[in-house]
Amino acid sequence: MRTSVVIGNWKMNGDRVANIKLLDRLEKELSVQNNCAVVVCPPFPFLSQVAGWLLSQKINIGAQNVSAHNYGAHTGEVCGQMLTELGCSYVLLGHSERRADNYESDTEIAAKFAAAIETGLTPVLCVGETLDQKNAGLTQSVVTGQITSVIEQLGISVFNKAIIAYEPVWAIGTGETATPEQAQAVHLAIRTLIRSYDNILADKIAILYGGSVKASNAKALFSQIDIDGALVGGAALDADQFISICNAAA
């Protein structure tokens, strides 16, 4: 039995007043179960505020990015040690918005993955195909390539302390969700890929779905055997929605 994980990616949203309103509701109303880890990933400037507010520790904190480097002359970067010092235990890596907006390559993502592991953060490796790739029948080869790139650079064992999030790019922020069956097929392919390297790890690793997850579709997605939770964007900013999604996963 794998532990479910629901991660709220706030992306570049929030302000100090709205954050408190949202966190206050989550702290009061989330009945976190042992079989479901809940994580929120605010923008860097709010990490300290969020860490100071979440005193019950039933909600974990993640960052949306990390530098591949340690301390030093890397202007504008934030290293893993700084994130752990602020209370982060997770970090999103390779989100499609960073792959597109910041031209992050698989090689760079693997370097960040290594830095995350070294500093005690749990990397959440985001993978997924664009609409053109989907229409060309390339979904599984794109996703396999993105994961294999990390395995080839770092070895399979780093995935013992990692999460994979399948996020079809065409479903992100569009309101269009992969059907539970479509998502399950890709999740199974990912687990089969991991199984080809390590059978025990394949049964253990959490594979999350992301892409327009909401209260109304969460239960059906989570009913699929290889969907272990969600990486939630827009709905993570709405307390009612996010709490419902967490309840559906628990």
Ligand X SMILES: O=C[C@H](O)COP(=O)(O)O
- Active-site residues: which are they? 95, 167
155 annotated as a binding-site residue: no
Residue 31 in marked binding region: no
Residue for token digits 């985001």? 126
Q: What is the CA radius of gyration of the chain?
A: 17
The answer to the question of whether 10 is labelled as a binding residue is yes
For ligand X, which residue of 14, 42, 123, 234 counts as binding (CB under 6 A)? 234
Candidate segments 20-28, 98-106, 116-124, 211-219, binder of ligand X by CB under 6 A? 211-219
Annotated ligand binding at 58? The verdict is no
Under rule CB under 6 A, residue 173 binds ligand X: yes
Closest approach of ligand X to the CB of residue 73, in Å: 30
Rounded to whole angstroms, what are the CA distances from 211 to 28, 52, 198, 223, 250?
27, 29, 28, 16, 19
* Candidate residues 68, 162, 213, 246; the one interacting with ligand X per rule CB under 6 A: 213
Work out whether 232 is an interface residue with ligand X (CB under 6 A): yes
| Contact string 65-104 vs ligand X (x = CB under 6 A) | ------------------------------x---------
Nearest to 129 by CA among 141, 117, 116: 141
Which is nearest to 66 in space by CA: 47, 50, 53, 38? 47
What one-character DSSP code corresponds to residue 64? Answer: S
Residue 50 binding ligand X, by CB under 6 A? no
Calpha distance 68→81 (Å, rounded): 11
Q: Which residue has the tokens 């860097």?
A: 44
Residue closer to ligand X, measured from CB, 151 or 169: 169
Within 8 A by CB and 6+ apart from 87, the residues are: 47, 51, 54, 61
Looking at beta carbons, which residue is closest to ligand X? 233
Smallest distance, ligand X to C-beta of residue 177, A: 8
Structure tokens at 225: 């055997």
Q: Which of 95, 191 has the CB closer to ligand X?
A: 95
Among 211, 221, 226, 228, binds ligand X (CB under 6 A): 211
**Minimum Å distance from CB 70 to ligand X?**
26
Residue owning tokens 């392919």: 189
Give the shortest CB-149-to-ligand X separation in angstroms: 20
Other CB atoms within 10 Å distance of the CB of residue 177: 23
Neighbouring residues of 231: CB distance < 8 A, sequence distance ≥ 6: 7, 9, 92, 124, 126, 165, 167, 208, 209, 210, 213
Interface residue list for ligand X (CB under 6 A): 9, 95, 167, 172-173, 210-213, 231-235
Show binding-site residues.
9-11, 173, 212, 233-234
